[in-house]
Amino acid sequence: MRNAIIFLGVCIAFAGIVGLALISGGGGGQQIQPNTTGMSSDVTASTTTSTDAAGNPNAFLPGGSSSDTAPSLAANGSGANPGVFQSSFDTPPVRWSQGNDNFSITGASLDGNELTLLLTVQPGGAAHCIPISLRYVTDESGDLAPPDTQDFTFPDSGNCQGSPAATYTDQAVVFTVNPPAPFLFTTYGSSNTFFLVATTTNNGVSVELPGTSG
């Protein structure tokens, strides 16, 4: 029953966001209804503090009041690359665990159909190769696509072998996506929790769990 309620919430939230994107873009499209079998709530969404292009702080409080604004750290605004959307997050909007390993999203950028997520990775247990479990939900049937990035490359090992108790920052995971946003992703694996990636009006990127937008 709990999984059914979570699944219904994901579908309703994502359908609403996709509908708004289609209305504002004036284009056609289909509503994505992901296959959320085995979805877990082993992810936390937390307050994100960000700054806009002018350096002014914005507070994004998932599920908060009408005064909340979407995260827009490092937004390009009217800079040299106005077609590129990007943000970095002081507090990760999404965290999850796979086995003994912990992950969090600390930044995101969208350039055309190339979407990059920046992760902080904290291995647990003995040294081992840490797989990239993130998947992009490509269509309404819930089909999943792996990232273009095949493996993590950690600075101390030069490959995916993570050292116990280490913290690896700015680990880039690149996906080829099909605009327009929003895009639906899952952490897959044992956590298998869904989150949305969208663009903001000031050339930023928002990353949030379905149903946490203000």
Question: Nearest-CA neighbor of 157 among 118, 121, 115, 107?
Answer: 121
pLDDT exceeds cutoff 70 at 168: yes
Question: Nearest-CA neighbor of 166 among 127, 108, 115?
Answer: 127
Question: Nearest-CA neighbor of 75 among 100, 62, 58?
Answer: 58
pTM: 0.66
Question: Nearest-CA neighbor of 10 among 34, 44, 45, 38?
Answer: 34
Q: How far is CA 162 from CA 46, 102, 104, 124, 168, in A?
A: 26, 12, 16, 9, 9
Q: Which one has a higher pLDDT value, 182 or 8?
A: 182
pLDDT exceeds cutoff 50 at 24: no
| Cis peptide bond N-terminal to 180, omega within 30 | yes
What's the whole-number mean pLDDT along residues 2-9? Answer: 45
Instruction: Say what the pLDDT of residue 99 is.
Output: 92
